[in-house]
Amino acid sequence: MSEVDRKDLEAKGFYKLSWVQRFGFASGDLAQNLIYQTVASQLMFFCTDVYILGGDRSRAAGIASTLMLIVRFVDMVWDPIVGAFIDKNHPRWGKYRSYLIIGGIPLTVFSALTFWNKFAPSVPYIYITYILLSLSYTLVNVPYGAINSSLTRDNDEITMLTSLRMWCANIGCFFVYTLLFLFIAIVGGTSIPWDMILFNLFGNIPNLCIVPFMPAIKNLIGKKNMFYVFLTVAVCGNAILYIASRMNANDWWYRIGNLIKSTGVCVATGYQWALVPEVISYGEWKTGRRISAIVNAITGLFFKAGFALGGAIPGWIIQASGYVSPPAGESTLPKDPMAWFTTLSIYFVIGFIILVFCFTQTKERVVMEEGQTNSVKVSDFWTEFTRNPPLVVVSLFFIVSFVMQNISNTSNNYLMNDLYKQKSSAQEAIRWTVCVIPAILAIVCMIIISRYSLTDEKIEKINKEIEERNAAKDSA
């Protein structure tokens, strides 16, 4: 491509980014996974087995599940307000990236306080800190998602950004799921739970090795077919895990099952983020306004609702089954409260430092003109949702896919924590939350994504029409 052609494309919003800029943006997901993924995946186990929420081991899971659901009702009010506020304003550090710092500081502080055992087993303390944590996370996650669509209109570039973003996110998952219990055990001076670590290691291998090839896979088999194929792979992995658990098979069968399941889940839940800039462009094409933060607030609400339900459902099922948390001395996993607080605080601080790096490497280029922002209002949250059919499909996919992902991630701790010492009803409940329910939800995801109407060709046509319309407006 000649320099003249490149500048012409950039003038229309089709920017090409440097590798430093790409990794700078992608590092934001590494940071958020070190913070929020840690909270989302470990809070239930922390409440039931470390903090003993409410002081009763047999009721802690139910109390924690109710907490997660209540916080999502708070988000239903908070997220539209944040999305509209961000789209209406232009902070001097950057329209979206400013909030990586503004929201990152309280997110780091309240995340650490949520895992502080000082007031155990107080229920109000966990409620207050977790609600403030969730409000702070919205201030980071909504604008971060909007940065993606503000960097460029180039669909290939967006696919590359999404792949790198998911790869960095999965590095964060590697530290959360594979190494967290290793570090907690070392800090607490307890025995290292190698079975759990190896189980999660096999689950993270696909995240690190396959996600970078998502663009090539999509080009080879097509966008929808990629979802169908890999969600089917996830169902097969869940089936292997269930059979291995029922038969009390060798640990290697657990690891192989988790490897296969994660291969399917990582691609399906990874590439879904590339659909968000597409529905933003579709909305701009229909209305003339590029309300990126509003759209990301919508998908963010469904994403967080999925994470919350994925964390809450296992708690309700496990409590109803008669699960009782084993005392620390009888547990395979480390439960020293100060070791948990120290290790997780280090994770959160490192996450914030990486957020600062992301802030320095991102620059918004494709955003609403300042004159258009005055018309943005909170009601746009629901208006955009109802008039943008592809957004409805993506939002529904988000909530179901994240329930599928997090219900399994939350329950893995119970699967690998001396499962056979629990009564038979509790064992079967854990198998259902780890294997059966996620497999059913994977099938539901396939049905939902079949309704997505934006092909790559249609998106390219939409983006070109938007730029032609903007060019005509400027020349007039």
Q: How confident is the model at residue 320 (pLDDT cuts 50, 70, 90)?
A: very high
Q: Tokens for 450, please give them.
A: 């079949």
CB atoms within 10 A of CB 160: 21
Q: Do the beta carbons of residue 306 and residue 398 sit within 8 Å?
A: yes
Rounded Cα–Cα distance for residues 149 and 143 (Å): 10
Tokens 């592809």 found at: 390
Considering Cα of 168, then 227, then 277, then 38, what sign does the dihedral take? Answer: negative
The distance in angstroms from the start CA to the end CA of the chain is 29
Q: Do the beta carbons of residue 435 and residue 238 sit within 8 Å?
A: yes
pLDDT tens, residue by residue, 342-354: 999 999 999 999 9
pLDDT tens, residue by residue, 3-20: 544 554 544 456 788 899
Per cent of the chain over pLDDT 90 is 54
Rounded Cα–Cα distance for residues 130 and 110 (Å): 7
Q: Do the beta carbons of residue 328 and residue 336 sit within 8 Å?
A: yes
Q: Do the beta carbons of residue 61 and residue 44 sit within 8 Å?
A: yes
Q: Rg (Cα) of the chain, in Å, rounded?
A: 22
pLDDT tens, residue by residue, 235-257: 999 999 999 999 988 999 999 99
Rounded to the nearest integer, the mean pLDDT of the chain is 89
Helix 214-221 vs helix 251-271: crossing angle, to nearest 10: 70
For the chain, the three-class secondary structure string (H helix, E strand, C coil) is CCHHHHHHHHHCCCCCCCHHHHHHHHHHHHHHHHHHHHHHHHHHHHHHHHCCHHHCCCCHHHHHHHHHHHHHHHHHHHHHHHHHHHHHCCCCCCCCCHHHHHCHHHHHHHHHHHCCCCCCCCHHHHHHHHHHHHHHHHHHHHHHHHHHHHHCCCHHHHHHHHHHHHHHHHHHHHHHHHHHHHHHHHHHCCCCCHHHHHHHHHHHHHHHHCHHHHHHHHHHHCHHHHHHHHHHHHHHHHHHHHHHHHCCCCHHHHHHHHHHHHHHHHHHHHHHHHHHHHHHHHHHHHHCCCCHHHHHHHHHHHHHHHHHHHHHHHHHHHHHHCCCCCCHHHCCCCCCHHHHHHHHHHHHHHHHHHHHHHHHHCCCCCCCCHHHHCCCCCCHHHHHHHHCHHHHHHHHHHHHHHHHHHHHHHHHHHHCCCHHHCCHHHHHHHHHHHHHHHHHHHHHHHHHHCCCCCCHHHHHHHHHHHHHHHHHHHHC
pTM to 2 decimal places? 0.84
Q: Do the beta carbons of residue 315 and residue 61 sit within 8 Å?
A: yes
Per cent of the chain over pLDDT 70 is 94
pLDDT the model gives residue 372: 59
pLDDT tens, residue by residue, 55-105: 998 899 899 999 888 888 888 889 888 988 888 888 888 889 999 999 999
Residue 180 has pLDDT above 90, yes or no: yes
Residue 330 has pLDDT above 80, yes or no: no
